[in-house]
Structure 1
């Protein structure tokens, strides 16, 4: 079994002992990701902007693994306020409209009250990478 760890450079990864993504046997498991801009360690206020940042961080991790958003098979959306989810739909349509992964939205409290969305994905590496 091959295993590759991918880091986004987030200080939370070392503090909490996790990787942004783990590649195992052709699958890419991306940890729950929030809307932080890790270059500035700032968080936008709006849920749609946080969603966009989150998907950007996920896309970078997938690219490092050799995959893309088009390879996402499963996605989980976690929001402290489920009523905020609809504001994310246009962003999700841009990214996943043609992909249409299996998806679940869960309402749950997140680590920091400023966090309005967390997204976790599982992707399958393209055959040329697996």
Structure 2
């Protein structure tokens, strides 16, 4: 069964995507931007949104098996990586860090994606 998850972003209907898609014991979370004045703050906020989407769908941050950071200004990749490390600590999912030029809105400095899998009961 395929469950589509929306957070009400106007981009979801404009572009034709879901914030997340749940299939069985897996959830795939789309690129998620955050609010804040700098890369660190936006990354932390995006990760909080991801954690909320996970929890609302029966997953935990500890279930994340893959994460991707896309950073617009690569001079600040370490700020995004620091926020990522604080959130994932010992979870240590598979990880990619990419440089994106530019995002659709100038205010967006970073996007975070995640894939999580619940362990079978």
Same fold (TM over 0.5): yes
Moved over 6 A (4+): none
What are the ranges of 5 or more consecutive residues in structure 1 without an aligned counterpart? 36-42
Report which stretch shifted further, 8-17 or 50-59: 8-17
2:41 equivalent among 24, 39, 49? 49
Q: Which residue of 1 aligns with 2:28?
A: 29
Structure 2, unaligned stretches of length 5 or more?
A: none
Which TM-score applies when normalising by structure 2? 0.92
Q: Check conservation: 1:7, 1:61, Cα contact below 8 A.
A: no
Q: TM-score, normalised by structure 1?
A: 0.86
Name the SS of the counterpart of 2:11 in structure 1: helix
Size of the aligned set, in residue pairs, is 120
Match of 1:98 among 77, 82, 90: 90
Query: Residue 113 in 1 paired to residue 112 in 2?
Result: no
How much has 1:93 moved relative to structure 2? 2.1
**Distance (whole Å) between structure 2 residues aligned to residue 88 and residue 106 of structure 1:** 11
Computed over aligned residues only, the root mean square deviation of the Cα atoms, in angstroms, reads 1.3
Answer with 86-95 or 98-107: which moved more. Answer: 86-95
